[in-house]
Structures are given as structure tokens and as C-alpha cells.
């Protein structure tokens, strides 16, 4: 009975959205997408074009040599996700899915997400220990690029929290080989842009480096993280699926901020139109989902705005 639980994940439709029910194709696709998304996270995005151009420079402008360095770099990235798979899927030192049934864990996650969001809004900057940044593998050797790949994957770890839980739940429910393969696929997804840019390094010169637009992107990532914090926190405080409306409030503020900031940064029509489309999509999708899970979009089977009785809800 979902109504008897204060866990926000209790309102996931077990027949459609339970990660354990994902098909192999869907799970591996989600893993590949998660890996790709790591590259647009604030932890990694600034490194991508600079490293790709570095491949070409140290290869003495030889495209094949640059590509081989990209392959070595990718091996380092994938190796880190192999270590993660060993710890979580093989040794099972962490039981990720079951932790969300405990209030202490959920509130800890909420606190971490809020701190992350505040950091993304530019209030402060969190750096890893100086010793990590002092590691300087060589760019002009295969071993050095493997080490660079591993270091880049490690630097991406602060951004993994919003993207990996569902995949980890799926991987833990599969045979060990399948679960490990899915985790390695995340590393493959993260490596793909580096491989492409090592083969075509001229594309890297088109990436934005610094300025107001990358900063705006970083702030919008902050709203996403804040939305996740509100999702988990409000789910512990509000009975029933009504807590989704709190997430809508975050989406509304983010949408308004995106449009207002875009108008400030550019008077051209194109950026304003693009930001308007993104804002409408963000808020519209959130409102639609909230109305759906609260029964407002159900057919005749719904009663007084409650969840439709035809849905098989189960505590998670």
C-alpha cells in the first residue's frame, strides 16, 4: 500500500518504473546515456575540449597517434568504472537500493544534494584534496593517458549521484557478469566524446570555455540537483504523491530563472526562443507527471483525485 509509506520512491509504478524490471537493452542504453551525461556535468565539462586538443598537440598533429592516445585515455576511464562494479556488484559492499527505506539515509542524501546545489549556484567551490590535483601523468605516453583517463573518471565522481542509482539497482539484480558489463558500459559512454574528439580535434576548438553561458549551464545543473533534494525530502514529509508538487515549484523557479537570465545575456531572438522552449518543456513535463501520479489525468476510474485503482502500486 503506497499510501502507508513516507518513502517517495514508494510511488513508483512497479510494473513500469522499477529498475529491476528493465530489459537488458534498456539498461545498457541507460548506462551508455549516463556515461555520456557525465561529460556535460560541471565536474568534467571544462576538461573535455582541453584534453582532446592535448591529444593532437602531443601526437605532433598526427591524427592516428591522437586517436590511439584517445583509446588509452578511454581505457583509464573504463577501468575506474570496473573498480566501481567490483565494489558494488561483485563484492556487494554497498546495498544501494535498500538504503532509501531508511530515513537517516534519505536525509543525509538530501543534505548532500542541497550542498551540491548551493555549490553549483556559485556560493562556494568544493575541491578534492590538493594531492589529487598535483598528480601529473604524462600526455605523450599511453600509460600517462591511461592515468589521465582514470583521474578524469575520479574527478567525475561528485556528479554520479543523480545518474547511477537506477542502474545500480538493476545491476545488483542481474547475474554478476551482466551487472559488471552494464557498469563498464557507463565508462564506454563517458569515453565516446574523447574518442571522437581525439580523432577530430578541430571540433574541440568550438567548445565554450568560460563566460556567462557556461555559468548559466552550471546553475541549471544546480536546479536539477536541488529538485532531486526536494523530491526525497518532501517525500518524507508529505503523505501520498502530493509531494511531487514541491518538485514542480523548483521547476517553476528554474524555468523563470532560465528565461530571465537569457534575456539579460542576449538580445538576440534565437537564445530567447531556445530558453523559452526549454523552460516550457521543463515545467510542463513536471506538471504533467505530477498531475498523472496524483490521478488528475486519469480516466473514469479515478475518484476524488486519488490514484487510479488500476495501477499496481507497491512499497519500494
* Spatial distance between the Cα atoms of 142 and 59, rounded to a whole number of angstroms: 11
* Contact criterion met (CB below 8 Å) for 44 and 38: yes
* Contact criterion met (CB below 8 Å) for 171 and 85: yes
Whether 13 shows a pLDDT value over 50: the answer reads: no
pLDDT value of position 250: 95
> Predicted confidence band at 310 (pLDDT cuts at 50, 70, 90)?
low
* Contact criterion met (CB below 8 Å) for 142 and 68: yes
Whether 280 shows a pLDDT value over 90: the answer reads: yes
pLDDT in tens, 105-137: 788 878 877 887 887 787 766 555 555 555 555
Whether 303 shows a pLDDT value over 50: the answer reads: no
Q: What DSSP line would sit under the chain, residue for residue?
A: -GGG---GGGGSBTTTT-GGG--HHHHHHHHHHHHHHHTTSTTTTTHHHHHHHHHHHHTTT-HHHHHHHHHHHHHHHHHHHHHHHIIIIIS----HHHHTTSHHHHHHHHHHHHHHHHHHTTS------HHHHT----SSSHHHHHHHHHHHHHHTGGG-TTTSHHHHHHHHTS-HHHHHHHHHHHHHHHHHHHHHHHHSGGGGGGS--SSHHHHHHHHHHHHHHHHHHHHHHHHHHSSSGGGHHHHHHHHHHHHHHHHHHHHHH--SHHHHHHHHHHHHHHHHHHHHHHHHHTTTT--TT--TTPPPTTS-B---
* Spatial distance between the Cα atoms of 212 and 216, rounded to a whole number of angstroms: 6
Whether 143 shows a pLDDT value over 60: the answer reads: yes
Least confident among 22-26, 77-81, 119-123: 119-123
Least confident among 42-46, 221-225, 276-280: 42-46
* Spatial distance between the Cα atoms of 95 and 86, rounded to a whole number of angstroms: 13
Percent of the chain with pLDDT over 70: 69
Look at 304 and 202; give whichever has higher pLDDT: 202
* Spatial distance between the Cα atoms of 73 and 270, rounded to a whole number of angstroms: 37
Q: What mean pLDDT do residues 188-194 have?
A: 90
The CA distances from residue 159 to 3, 34, 42, 44, 230, in Å, are 32, 11, 8, 9, 17
Model pTM? Answer: 0.57
pLDDT value of position 253: 96
Least confident among 28-32, 40-44, 209-213: 40-44
Look at 190 and 15; give whichever has higher pLDDT: 190
Look at 181 and 15; give whichever has higher pLDDT: 181
pLDDT value of position 211: 76
**Helices 244-265 & 269-293, crossing angle to 10 degrees?**
180
pLDDT value of position 49: 60
Percent of the chain with pLDDT over 90: 22
pLDDT in tens, 194-210: 888 888 877 766 666 56
pLDDT value of position 95: 58
pLDDT in tens, 215-225: 888 788 788 88
Look at 249 and 112; give whichever has higher pLDDT: 249
pLDDT value of position 287: 94
* Contact criterion met (CB below 8 Å) for 271 and 262: yes
* Spatial distance between the Cα atoms of 184 and 194, rounded to a whole number of angstroms: 16
Look at 107 and 58; give whichever has higher pLDDT: 107
* Contact criterion met (CB below 8 Å) for 201 and 53: yes
Amino acid at each position: 500500500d503506497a499510501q502507508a509509506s513516507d518513502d517517495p520512491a514508494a510511488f513508483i509504478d512497479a510494473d513500469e518504473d522499477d529498475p529491476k524490471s528493465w530489459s537488458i537493452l534498456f539498461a545498457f542504453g541507460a548506462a551508455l546515456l549516463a556515461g555520456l551525461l557525465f561529460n556535460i556535468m560541471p565536474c568534467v565539462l571544462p576538461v573535455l575540449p582541453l584534453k582532446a586538443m592535448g591529444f593532437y598537440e602531443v601526437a605532433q598533429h598526427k591524427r592516428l597517434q591522437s586517436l590511439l592516445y584517445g583509446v588509452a585515455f578511454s581505457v583509464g576511464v573504463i577501468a575506474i568504472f570496473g573498480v566501481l562494479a567490483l565494489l558494488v556488484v561483485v563484492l556487494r559492499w554497498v546495498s544501494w537500493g535498500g538504503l532509501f527505506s531508511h530515513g537517516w539515509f534519505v536525509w543525509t542524501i538530501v543534505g548532500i544534494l542541497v550542498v551540491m546545489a548551493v555549490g553549483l549556484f556559485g556560493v562556494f567551490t568544493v575541491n578534492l584534496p590538493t594531492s589529487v590535483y598535483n598528480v601529473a601523468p604524462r600526455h605523450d605516453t599511453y600509460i600517462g593517458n591511461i592515468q589521465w583517463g582514470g583521474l578524469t573518471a575520479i574527478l567525475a565522481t561528485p556528479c554520479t549521484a543523480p545518474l547511477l542509482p537506477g542502474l545500480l539497482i538493476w545491476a545488483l539484480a542481474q547475474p554478476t557478469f551482466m551487472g559488471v558489463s552494464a557498469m563498464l558500459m557507463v565508462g564506454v559512454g563517458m569515453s565516446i566524446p574523447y574518442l571522437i574528439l581525439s580523432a577530430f580535434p578541430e571540433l574541440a576548438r568550438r567548445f565554450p570555455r568560460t563566460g556567462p553561458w557556461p555559468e548559466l549551464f552550471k546553475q541549471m545543473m544546480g536546479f536539477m540537483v536541488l529538485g532531486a533534494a526536494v523530491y526525497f525530502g518532501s517525500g518524507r514529509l508529505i503523505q501520498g504523491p502530493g509531494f511531487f508538487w514541491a518538485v514542480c515549484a523548483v521547476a517553476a523557479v528554474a524555468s523563470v530563472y532560465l528565461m530571465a537570465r537569457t534575456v539579460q545575456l542576449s538580445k538576440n531572438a534565437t537564445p530567447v526562443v531556445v530558453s523559452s522552449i526549454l523552460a516550457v518543456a521543463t515545467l510542463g513535463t513536471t506538471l504533467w507527471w505530477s498531475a498523472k501520479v496524483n490521478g488528475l489525468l486519469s480516466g473514469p476510474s479515478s475518484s476524488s483525485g486519488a490514484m487510479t485503482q488500476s495501477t499496481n502500486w507497491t512499497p519500494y
